[in-house]
Structure 1
């Protein structure tokens, strides 16, 4: 399978959709596209340069969360490969345009038809000279399923893993053509979630300055760690501001 583009999708319950889109639009430094879909439930966060790599969706059921779209030449062919590696189909009623699947540990992703996206957006320099970009999805995996999940994503993407500064974190080697990378985090056995969940990571040149900017928009600090700060957006959705190079993701 050749992954032509990768999009991070924020899924919001109806009651949160408007305010949350405003928050994430501001954090990303983007505009919002006109809504689309049968129920006007989809929109893109449009960067000032490059192709969108962040999208939002209004959902009718459930608490919402994060999923990713893999843009491929033929979603049906790609789905057969993903299933052979251990994925499960969640929904295929949408027709040939996209299919919804779960990874072996339950992380939701979609295979969608590639529409020519290819230009990575550039990070934004904010007042005060901090540079940042939302550039990574971290998949939080139950401890007992971690090795299987790592094998699945390395085989699906065709990319090896890279070690990080923490043993519980493995990065899928970044494809320089893609605007979004994938990080896998092994959770402790005490983690109450039986399935994998995801959150967004920002790369920033000055984490604390970026934290202050987010607090001004209603986010709050959950935990400060040596190389990143865990945040919660105005409705409690967690994400991380990380000390990484916004241009390379490293």
Structure 2
């Protein structure tokens, strides 16, 4: 494996300080995963720990009042992976390589961390009933059309993965990984202005039942489609439920 190729992908839910506790509880409840003890200089980090397998979601308390997601790419060599990303158009935000991570921003403005945390075993879906299972299994990178070409080239470079078209959906590109690699990556061309953003996707065996379950936990329904539903978490973070099998 190349020193820069990610062996695992995980997502960070960045929650404002005044909504951190309620937001963390919401994500615990909809995933079925328990929050770890806090860590970091200010207790700002925690992990949503599945009962088996390796974690793919973490939570961070932020102080700028904005709910969002950022991406962690787990790599063998954080310095070399970050250097490659800068060559692909990223910008360096913070070098904490001595602590195992480097923070960058993609050409389109999304925060991406290169980290050396372990990850190898996918967590199983949570079984809510005999007919309902679900799991957060994908990060969707939402790319405004005017940033699309450079951003998609960046993601193909830093992941060492080819861009693969999605049948009947020209607005999507997949970055398939060989074998288990944490969260899947999906690139989505949008008509929105502004910077690149990321949102979380769940896979579920029963989309209507899973939608109802999330609404009962405090989510707001934004849109419905035949194969996915778009929701808004109580802290203002959009995310989707999909008909992909968990």
| Same fold at TM > 0.5 | yes
Aligned-CA RMSD value? 1.4
Does the 8 Å CA contact 1:41/1:57 hold for their aligned counterparts? yes
Cα displacement (A) at 1:175: 3.8
Q: What aligned pairs does 1:182-221 form with structure 2 within 5 A after superposition?
A: 182-188=185-191, 191-192=192-193, 194-221=194-221
Normalised to the residue count of structure 2, the TM-score between the two structures is 0.94
Tell me the residue number matched to 1:42.
Answer: 45
- Say if 1:110 and 1:156 are closer, same or farther in 2 by CA, change over 3 A: same
Does the 8 Å CA contact 2:81/2:158 hold for their aligned counterparts? no
Q: Deviation per CA, 1:110-168: give whole Å up to 9, x if none.
A: 01123x32111011221251121101111111101112111111121111122223111
Q: What aligned pairs does 1:125-144 form with structure 2 within 5 A after superposition?
A: 125-144=127-146
Tell me the residue number matched to 1:105.
Answer: 108
Cα displacement (A) at 1:229: 0.5
Q: Provide the secondary structure at the position in 2 that maps to 1:57.
A: strand
2:42 is equivalent to residue 5 of structure 1: no
Question: CA–CA distance in 2 between the matches of 1:56 and 1:179?
Answer: 16
- Say if 1:64 and 1:95 are closer, same or farther in 2 by CA, change over 3 A: farther
Does the 8 Å CA contact 1:76/1:96 hold for their aligned counterparts? no
Cα displacement (A) at 1:210: 0.3
Q: What aligned pairs does 1:216-235 form with structure 2 within 5 A after superposition?
A: 216-235=216-235
Q: Deviation per CA, 1:169-217: give whole Å up to 9, x if none.
A: 11111342212011111111xx23x210111100111111100110110
Normalised to the residue count of structure 1, the TM-score between the two structures is 0.92
Tell me the residue number matched to 1:76.
Answer: 79
- Say if 1:75 and 1:93 are closer, same or farther in 2 by CA, change over 3 A: closer
Question: CA–CA distance in 2 between the matches of 1:132 and 1:176?
Answer: 20
Q: Provide the secondary structure at the position in 2 that maps to 1:82.
A: helix
Cα displacement (A) at 1:43: 0.3
Q: How many residues align?
A: 242
2:242 is equivalent to residue 239 of structure 1: no
Does the 8 Å CA contact 1:75/1:96 hold for their aligned counterparts? no
Unmatched 5+ residue regions in structure 1? none
2:73 is equivalent to residue 64 of structure 1: no
Unmatched 5+ residue regions in structure 2? none
Tell me the residue number matched to 1:157.
Answer: 159
- Say if 1:220 and 1:62 are closer, same or farther in 2 by CA, change over 3 A: closer
